[in-house]
Chain A
Amino acid sequence: MSDSKFVVIDGSETEYREGETVLHAARRLGIEIPTLCHDDRLEPAGACRICLVEVEGSRLMQPACAFRTAPGMVVRTNTTRVDRNRQFIISLHLADTVADRDEAEDVSISRLHEYTEKYGVAEGEWQHVGSPREGRPDDENPFIAFRADRCIVCAACVRYCDEVEGVSAITLANRGGRTTIATADLRSLDHTTCEMCGGCIAVCPTGAMTEKPALFYGKPERELEKVRSTCNFCGVGCQIDINVDRNANRIVKVTSPPPGTTVNDGNLCVKGRFANDFVHHPDRLTVPLVRETDGRLREASWDEALERAVRGLQGVKETHGVDSLAFISSSRCTGEENYLLQKLARAGFGTQNIHQCAAT
């Protein structure tokens, strides 16, 4: 053990922190090390080997995601040996998955293919092997697709399901080239312990796990615009990225911001990720309605409807007094809208009868 309080990576010094991995120390220095199987929410697995770096005094290269720093450690991530390994690993994976980037990214973004370009790996360097990996073509679950031909068996999905969501619905099955991501008895995911959180999709580096609705929609994530917003279901306040097809004015899917950046740490639940059909549902109200004297509702202009609303409330106020009015606001609406409705009640109509369902 050295007395040094520092770790040196590619010639830059950073403070040594007990228990920290080479990957995290490098990140603090702004040095990028590629990873495929790694996610900060998971225990390091060191499965994909793309993050191997040279550590002074060690004959073999070490996985940055799992290898912990020591005081005085000297690490190199920019040598020819490290580069060669990265290219080699990428070529191997490309031989086992869909090599063409456009085809690979037909739905989701593929980190593997980003690295292919970044690290200058030519496609087709190795002959396509096409492992006989079994999928679940009959899986009827409505949300999560598994495309076995794109899987590189890094098992990030299995570990997420196990370690973060804690339901262990999917597992590694078979051996060698047949190794695949399976469910018990190859059942449909909706007949397992799966809670459809879609975390497996979020951690997948190749798009093998993907959203079924987006798959059917058929527009690549790269062509969608991401709008950061807040989920509208429970009170956790998960940050979401709404992926929009701008030309069609349509929400294609919802993804989670990267782990470690927001309150939900990159996680979402089934409602946040998948329950957005309602936005474009044909049942949405699109025209104001007013009730006729015979009790029927008919369509009206905004002008007429707003006038009726205000005159109606004012009429009741004149006949029965201000405290015969009540305003019910909503914990589903924004803070500003709640502010405006209570202002309307208190300043516009002069009553304190303002509440919402969420007084608990």
Chain B
Amino acid sequence: MTNSIPEIRDADFLFVIGSNTTEAHPIIAMEMKRAVQRGARLAVADPRKIWLTEIADWHLQIKPGSDVWLLNAMAHVIVTEGLENREYIEANTEDFEKVREAVLRYTPEEAELFTGVPARTIREVARAYATTKHAGIYYTLGITEHTTGTDNVYALSNLVLMTGHLGIASAGMNPLRGQNNVQGANDAGATPVFYPGYQRAADPEVRAKFAEAWGVAQNEKKGLNLNEMMKSMQRGEIRALYIMGEDIVISEPNVCKVESAMNELDFVVVQDIFFNESCRFADVILPAACFAEKDGVFTNSDRRVQRVRKAVEPPGGARADWEILVDVMRRAGMKQPDYAGPGEVYAEMAALAPKFAGISHERIDREGGLQWPVLGPEDPGTQYLHKGGVLRGKGLFMPVEYRAPFEEADVEYPLILSTGRTLYHYNAATQTRRSEGLSKKQPEAFVEVHPRTARDLGIEDGQIVDVVTRRGRVRCRAMHSKQVKRNTIWMPFHFPAARTNELTTDAGDAVTGTGEYKVCAAKLEPVDEHSLHTFPGSYLTPSEVAEGE
């Protein structure tokens, strides 16, 4: 996020796109509700009638995958009506003309055909956004989990730059991070592109710096991102995996292919708190402590580095991930200090990453969370970015053109399947489905179908169906719902017994490799329930399975 979570309540216009905020980020949604109660206007762009649309001034019920059309059409309205912020553009940006030219052909009228959003609505929202000073954009995976994810983000940033809604409070461009430490994992350099603190791995000077610090020459070859790893595994090039705290067999798109590739690997280490699906392929499984059993930091969406503190002892022989890793490093013959604890690990990182130079465990304990960049011990941190001008010098406009999603509905697969998270569960649900209360509230997988679509297909509310795509078939319960548009269906992905990601496509964004979880072509087939003994969509934990046997 360029800006901070507590600033949201003071925004005057909120554009929420591709974020089911009340379910995925309930506390941020509270801030949005507060802004709306104060009189802020709210526009929500989402294929579903999510809760926020109830209090929104506009709901842009967009066809999945048509975001570039919508955003370019909004830019079209802004530039053709002269609503752009000339002063800001001249002082702070480059290449505005390229975008101006590119969006000219994206008229709201034509956008209506592609997106399903009325041209008049597009005009109103674009005008309201451009003419409100404290106007913020809030988005999440509905923008990025597309083959056009990077284009979508550029299209949004074009809007921010042309209106100058940047570098001031309660505005900006705000991706809401989906997991507790998405920001922190990237901060720490767990990505092939960056060393800790966003220092580019492609830069020889950066590699030389870390080679010196760590006392080992650094590999020059560009590393693979997760999506590329999965494909490289399928080609037999990646031969061994070390997986810490992730269940790729649930969470990666097109998991059947991932599974067969996992079977072919020579060696797999899994380090986790539960026996997850990926453990089935592991040669060594290392039991880890969970967040309540160890010390460290998480970095939240607004770049706030906060402490995690040990509250209870881990069960049995389980150990903190950092302790395990230090042991592995030692056995692998690495020369490095004996860390007394995570505080010393952080200090090593902060000394190598200027953005975090002023952050330490002691300081967070004393002052509370710190928002990076924090350049020194006296620097209070950074509430919002790009104050007094864009960080890289000039904000670069990036013209983008609409490209169709990897798959579109056709005669054989006439529906569009989109996927997401619900309030009551979390990702692979290894944690939440072990909560009796949450499981009671939402016990099983389902697919949302518009009642008209369901009627055409002869599917009753609550009936068991097979959701079928070119990659797989998943059985679950159909739920009639007017949240989705006709011919669009939606599934959560939390349930191991109904693995939604057997259906999704692993076609990824060209830059980030992020899979297109949000759009694929699908069909529904009713299932004769009398032929079933047990309903497969509900989940059982391993201990329950053992009891059943």
- A-side interface residues toward B, CB under 8 Å? 141-143, 163-166, 190, 195-197, 213, 227-239, 242, 244, 249-251, 261-265, 267-272, 274-291, 297, 302, 305-310, 312-317, 319-320, 322-360
Contacts and interface: CB of A to CB of B under 8 A. Distances in A.
Contacts of B320: 337
A325 B238 contact: yes
B149 A360 contact: yes
A312 B283 contact: yes
Interface string B173-201: 00111111111111111111001100001
Given A232-B290, A347-B334, A331 B322 contact: no
Given A236-B301, A275-B432, A358-B186, A263 B191 contact: no
Interface string B406-443: 00000000000000000110100011101111101100
Indicate the member of B22, B179, B305 with the most A CB atoms within 10 Å. B179
Interface stretch (B41-49, B210-218, B449-457): B210-218
A271 B184 contact: no
A97 to B, nearest CB: 27
B182 A235 contact: yes
Nearest to B359: A335
B423 A291 contact: no
Contact of A229 (B238, B286, B311): B311
A29 B89 CA distance: 46
B274 A347 contact: no
Nearest to A346: B218
Contacts of A352: 192, 201, 218-219, 221-224
B244 interface: yes
A338 B188 contact: yes
B142 to A, nearest CB: 11
29 contacts: A142-B437, A165-B33, A233-B426, A235-B182, A237-B302, A239-B369, A251-B292, A251-B312, A271-B424, A280-B315, A283-B541, A283-B542, A288-B287, A302-B327, A313-B332, A326-B224, A326-B232, A336-B297, A337-B322, A337-B325, A337-B342, A339-B190, A346-B216, A347-B334, A347-B336, A348-B329, A353-B192, A355-B224, A357-B251
B191 A359 contact: yes
Contacts of A196: 437, 441
A344 B292 contact: no
A261 B328 CA distance: 39
Given A325-B240, A333-B185, A360-B514, A338 B285 contact: no
A98 to B, nearest CB: 26
Contact of A356 (B246, B302, B312, B324): B246
B245 A335 contact: no
Interface of B: 4-6, 22, 24-28, 30, 33-34, 37, 55, 141, 144-145, 149, 175-192, 195-196, 201, 210, 214-219, 221-226, 229, 232-233, 237-246, 248, 251, 266-267, 269, 272-275, 279, 282-288, 290-302, 304-313, 315-322, 324-329, 331-334, 336, 342, 345-346, 348-349, 368-369, 423-424, 426, 430-432, 434-438, 440-441, 512-514, 541-543
Given A326-B229, A358-B186, A334 B284 contact: no
Nearest to A299: B317
A310 B324 CA distance: 12
Q: Would you call the interface of chain A mostly helix, strand, loop, or mixed?
A: mixed
The 10 tightest CB contacts between A and B, nearest first, are A237-B300, A286-B316, A334-B296, A235-B177, A352-B223, A330-B245, A142-B437, A285-B287, A269-B26, A358-B182
B92 to A, nearest CB: 27
A334 B308 contact: yes
A360 B141 contact: yes
B222 to A, nearest CB: 6
A235 B316 contact: no
A290 B229 contact: no
A280 B274 CA distance: 11
Given A236-B27, A277-B435, A353-B238, A322 B308 contact: no
Contact of B30 (A164, A287, A291): A164
B238 A326 contact: yes
A265 B30 CA distance: 10
A280 B216 CA distance: 41
Contacts of A244: 311-312
A307 B184 CA distance: 29
